[in-house]
Chains A and B, each alone.
Chain A
Amino acid sequence: MTISPQEDVIRCEGIWKIFGQKSQKAMEAIRCEGLSKKDIRERFDCVVGVQDATFSVRRGEIFCIMGLSGSGKSTLIRHINRLIEPTAGAVIIEGQNVNAMNPRDLRALRAQRIGMVFQNMALMPHRTVRENVAFALEVRGLPEDKRNAVAAQAIEAVDLTGWEKKYPDELSGGMQQRVGLARAIAADPTILLMDEPFSALDPLIRKQLQTKFMELSAELHKTTLFITHDLDEAIRIGDRIAIMKDGVLVQIGTPEQIVTEPADDYVAEFVGGISKLDLVTAARIMQPLAQYNQSHGAGDVTAWPVAGPGDKLNTLVDLAVGSEHPILIKADGAAVGVVTRRALLRGIQGREDQSQPQAEAV
């Protein structure tokens, strides 16, 4: 079997999780009668944690799930390695249904193919850094010298060489989470599950670890499911982002899609404060050349600065600062559109320029 880059490694199909004694009955009631969450709480004393979550993560992709606390994102990620059983729906990993596995296969899956990092680190306080990192290998029964060698590599990858014999409580928070990261990658899994890994750290350390993680991720090409409550982090790290609210995946898309085409008011409110400079491309705010010529008349464009449709607003601002003219957008050598100063400013604001019909994305 050849592995195409587009292959889905994780596929979640209609995951429902209802907490409570009568969760199965509540599930049936939702199916048959379409009850709301409030009805479910009143009639069955059950809480809906995750509501019909369907998504897939492609090989090598970093998929972020962003939501506030209580939105069900940590519950959702625990379905991937079946730490939580879904009330309905299925998780498929590389074509295998995780929910149909027997305990033995499930443990093998967890030990060999999935690494997980936790918000509260969850390191074992009675074990040294090395023993923590080698845990997944130890439960698989690898001999000690072999797992120490593998652990040494993982520890080196997170720049903790020399700390192998220390205990977790002798390390700072940032270092502890690096141990958590090393533990997750030690068994060389295909999938990384990151449950708000950097949320408990202070901003500077968080940024450092994000950078470290992105370096590692570029190097190791792990398929990653990344949970965060920080949209900036999601945009910085994620290839695609899913926004989660009250157990529902509200929108799934690339960072640019999320920021420029929010699916509803909730997402719009979220992305309102996000800087568009490094996200929005010229293609999104430009006016087609023909349309511009119609309103302004065809002029001499030779003096105009030139940018590509994929250039970000930041680049366009640099160009606009050095010239009086609008910016000409050229794709494959042919001029396709124009970004006026007005459109650029509106683009930075995140609003559409009202004076002209918005251009279709190329």
Chain B
Amino acid sequence: MDKTFDWLNPFASIDLGIGEWADGIKGWAMANRSVIQPLKGFFDGVIARIEGALQAVPPVIMLLLLVLIAWQAAGRRVAVLVFCCLVVLGLLDPMAWSLAMTTLAIVISSVLLCVMIGLPLGILAGKSDRFELGVRPVLDTMQTIPAFVYLVPVVMMIGIGNVSGVIVTIIFALPPLVRLTSLGIRSVNPSVVEAARAFGATPRQILFKVELPLATPTILAGLNQTIMLSLSMVVIASMISVKGLGNEVLRAMGRLDAGKAIVGGLGIVMLAIVLDRITQGLGRSGRQRGHRHWWQTGPVGLVAALLQKRN
């Protein structure tokens, strides 16, 4: 401690050594690496398989597939937009499509894990005020703490590569899904839940037959946000050796190559628009779709109608 203690500025002369103490986490992480490695291997395999599948599909087929999905989920106009975005993405650079698929694989892996973790947490938070109260500061931390802070400990523990990339992405992208799932559950009309109770539904039946279906548009809005946030993490994740469009931007920055940066950046934007429009289309309520089931609209509806006509 400093000898000249200044009462007006006490903070400058007190050092509790929190920084050094926290640095111990790094040591602990390195010491425990062996525990994590098998898990890491498993997830690495999963991500590699997703990427392999995405890369194996010829770009034209993939493009058509995505357009069809967009048409089914969000209608014809969005399908046209998605088509344009994907064509632009492909024309940006000969390598752009392949890089985009790598990025997409990371995003898909992160979002899948986010759903598996976030949905149950969100439901719990929607049901219990106490849990919501406890989880909220954690979510705040996850969303606001700069990514660089946890980048290093994660790398120390797990090593560089896709799995670390997915983990840092989850930390950043998970909160909106939890928050909006909780909000969705909480904003279900209580009188409908009461009616379900009055007709003898179990808590489980109330959750799956009433609360979750009615909360779906809100939950999908959360999923949409989660996807957008995980896309915005791809550049930072590329610092720990995650390949894909983000890596292009990072390398371009290192070489002050503005052209390459724009190519990578625009690619991310195109991918973002595609994923955003598709998931937004999913979130529309039944009434907005004119009370038709999903199989009555889009390409599936068209095929079904054609088949029916032939019979």
Task: Establish whether residues A110 and B198, one from each chain, have CB atoms under 8 Å apart when the complex forms.
Answer: yes
Chain A: interface residue total (CB-CB under 8 A) = 30
Q: When chains A and B are docked, how far (Å) is the Cα of A248 from the Cα of B209? A: 37
Q: Is A63 an interface residue (CB 8 A)?
A: no
Task: Establish whether residues B202 and A139, one from each chain, have CB atoms under 8 Å apart when the complex forms.
Answer: yes
CB-CB < 8 A to A125: which residues of B?
Answer: 192, 214, 286-287
- From A4-12, A111-119, A255-263, the one touching the partner chain is A111-119
**Nearest CB to that of A137 among chain B residues?**
B199
CB-CB < 8 A to B200: which residues of A?
Answer: 107-112, 136, 139-140
Interface residues of B in 195-249 (CB under 8 A from A): 195-202, 205, 209-210, 213-214
CB-CB < 8 A to A109: which residues of B?
Answer: 200
CB-CB < 8 A to A251: which residues of B?
Answer: none
Chain B: interface residue total (CB-CB under 8 A) = 20
Q: When chains A and B are docked, how far (Å) is the Cα of A109 from the Cα of B199? A: 9
Min CB distance, A57 to chain B, in Å?
Answer: 18
Task: Establish whether residues A139 and B201, one from each chain, have CB atoms under 8 Å apart when the complex forms.
Answer: yes
Q: How would you classify the secondary structure of chain B's contact residues: helix, strand, loop or mixed?
A: helix
Task: Establish whether residues B214 and A167, one from each chain, have CB atoms under 8 Å apart when the complex forms.
Answer: no
Min CB distance, A174 to chain B, in Å?
Answer: 18
Interface residues of A in 145-194 (CB under 8 A from B): 166-167, 169-170, 183, 187, 193
Q: Evaluate whether A136 and B287 lie within 8 angstroms (CB atoms) in the complex, with A83-B194, A118-B191 already known.
A: no
Q: Is A120 an interface residue (CB 8 A)?
A: yes
Task: Establish whether residues B198 and A124, one from each chain, have CB atoms under 8 Å apart when the complex forms.
Answer: no
**Nearest CB to that of B291 among chain A residues?**
A167
**Nearest CB to that of B212 among chain A residues?**
A126
**Nearest CB to that of A104 among chain B residues?**
B202
Interface string of A119-144 (1 = CB under 8 A from B): 01011111000000001101110000
Q: When chains A and B are docked, how far (Å) is the Cα of A107 from the Cα of B197? A: 8
Interface residues of B in 266-303 (CB under 8 A from A): 286-287, 291
Task: Establish whether residues A124 and B287, one from each chain, have CB atoms under 8 Å apart when the complex forms.
Answer: no
Task: Establish whether residues A114 and B198, one from each chain, have CB atoms under 8 Å apart when the complex forms.
Answer: yes
CB-CB < 8 A to B209: which residues of A?
Answer: 138-139
CB-CB < 8 A to A126: which residues of B?
Answer: 213-214, 286
CB-CB < 8 A to A187: which residues of B?
Answer: 199
CB-CB < 8 A to B202: which residues of A?
Answer: 107, 139
Q: List 13 A-B contacts (CB under 8 A).
A: A83-B194, A107-B200, A110-B198, A114-B198, A118-B191, A122-B192, A124-B214, A125-B286, A135-B201, A136-B200, A167-B287, A169-B287, A170-B291
Closest 8 A/B residue pairs (Cβ): A111-B200, A110-B200, A122-B195, A136-B199, A107-B200, A122-B191, A116-B198, A139-B201
Give the A-binding residues of B (Cβ under 8 A): 189, 191-192, 194-202, 205, 209-210, 213-214, 286-287, 291
